[in-house]
Amino acid sequence: MPRLRRYALSLTFDGNEADDLVQFTLLKAWEHRGRFQPGTSLVAWLFTILRNTFINGRRKRSREVPDPDGTYASLLSEPARQDQTLNLRDLQAAIDRLEPTHREALMLVAVDGLPYEAAASVIGCPTGTVKSRVSRARDRLLHELGASA
């Protein structure tokens, strides 16, 4: 560890950062210990991890924008526009008004994330039927919600 710390210190010129770098290096080495090839130099492997970690950290920091007081971040945010968003209750009401077969297909595919084939298996109908039900349900929702929005 003293050799790793000396090398880290020569890269960072900061004792705290060097200690963090050594600790992160040892953590990475432990996590990836299965990648170490017996018969090779453990010290060289650790030095390589330390160097790559240092370089990747510098690259990452070079793309960061210094913003200690948060003024830059405050310019990037935008207040919520509730008046232009769809009311969740309106969406739920429109879904509830769908035909039960269309609602079931839509929920399985759009909400539960099932592929059409899996939804067809759950419902017990052909895949094409599920596709057409989901399409009709989406069209109906767009029609209803587009008129009220």
Q: What is the pLDDT along the chain (149 residues), one digit of tens a residue?
A: 889 999 999 999 999 999 999 999 999 999 999 999 999 999 999 999 999 999 999 888 888 777 888 887 778 777 666 655 557 788 888 999 999 999 999 999 998 889 999 999 999 999 999 999 999 999 999 998 886 54
pLDDT at 149: 47
Residue range 54-95, pLDDT digits in tens: 999 988 888 877 788 888 777 877 766 665 555 778 888 899
Report the top-level CATH class of 87-148. Answer: mainly alpha
Task: Locate the domains of the chain by residue range.
Answer: 2-62, 87-148
pTM for the structure as a whole: 0.45
**Is residue 125 within 8 Å of residue 116, measured between CB atoms?**
no
Task: For domain 2-62, say whether CATH 3.40.50.170 is its number.
Answer: no
Q: What is the DSSP string of the chain?
A: -HHHHHHHHHHHS-HHHHHHHHHHHHHHHHHTGGG--TTS-HHHHHHHHHHHHHHHHHHHHHTSPP-TTSHHHHHH-----GGGSPPHHHHHHHHHTS-HHHHHHHIIIIIS---HHHHHHHHTS-HHHHHHHHHHHHHHHHHHHHHH-
